[in-house]
C-alpha cells in the first residue's frame, strides 16, 4: 500500500509515466516466422516506398520508429534494440511484421563458413605475383 491516503497501491513509479509491457507491443507474440533469420547483426533497410509509415494506422509507434531509423541509414537488429530501448525478442517480432508489410527488408551477413579463408587469398596473390 502506498502512503497516498487513498489505500491504492502503485506498482510503478509516477515519474516513469505509463508503462507498456513488451508483450503488449507484440500483441502477445514471442516469435515471428522470419525471426530465425534475424540475428543480431542482420541489417534492416527501409523500402523506398515506405515514406510515411505514420499514415498506416495499423502500425504501432514502435513499427513507425523502426522504419524511421532505417530510412536514411540501414541499422542492425542490435542497433535498433539499443536505440529503441526494447528487448531483442520484441524488436525481432516487430521487424518481422514490417517485412511482412514490405516496409523493410533484411540483409543477412555472410555466414562464417562461406567466407574466404585468408590463406587462400594469400596463395592467390602469390600466384598472381609469380605471373
User: Per-residue pLDDT tens for 60-108?
Assistant: 888 889 999 998 899 999 999 999 888 888 888 889 888 888 899 998 8
Q: Does residue 20 surpass a pLDDT of 60?
A: no
SS3 state at 106: strand
Name the pLDDT band for 55 (thresholds 50, 70, 90).
low
For residues 97 and 122, what is the distance between their CA atoms, to the nearest angstrom?
44
Whole-number percent of the chain with pLDDT over 90: 14
Q: Are 64 and 53 in contact (CB under 8 A)?
A: yes
Tell me the pTM: 0.62
SS3 state at 3: coil
**What number is the average pLDDT over the span 41-70?**
83
All cell numbers assigned to 19: 508503462
**H-helix or E-strand spanning residue 45:** strand 43-46
**What number is the average pLDDT over the span 7-32?**
56
Beta strands, E only, 50-129? 75-76, 104-107
Amino acid at each position: 500500500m502506498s502512503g497516498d491516503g487513498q489505500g491504492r497501491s502503485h506498482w510503478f513509479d509516477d515519474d516513469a509515466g505509463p508503462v507498456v509491457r513488451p508483450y503488449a507491443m507484440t500483441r502477445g507474440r514471442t516469435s515471428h516466422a522470419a525471426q530465425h533469420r534475424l540475428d543480431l547483426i542482420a541489417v534492416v533497410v527501409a523500402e523506398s516506398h515506405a515514406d510515411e509509415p505514420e499514415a498506416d494506422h495499423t502500425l504501432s509507434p514502435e513499427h513507425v520508429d523502426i522504419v524511421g531509423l532505417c530510412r536514411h541509414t540501414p541499422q542492425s537488429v542490435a542497433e535498433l534494440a539499443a536505440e529503441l530501448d526494447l528487448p531483442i525478442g520484441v524488436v525481432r517480432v516487430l521487424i518481422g511484421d514490417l517485412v511482412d508489410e514490405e516496409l523493410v527488408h533484411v540483409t543477412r551477413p555472410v555466414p562464417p563458413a562461406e567466407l574466404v579463408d585468408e590463406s587462400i587469398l594469400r596463395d592467390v596473390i602469390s600466384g598472381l605475383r609469380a605471373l
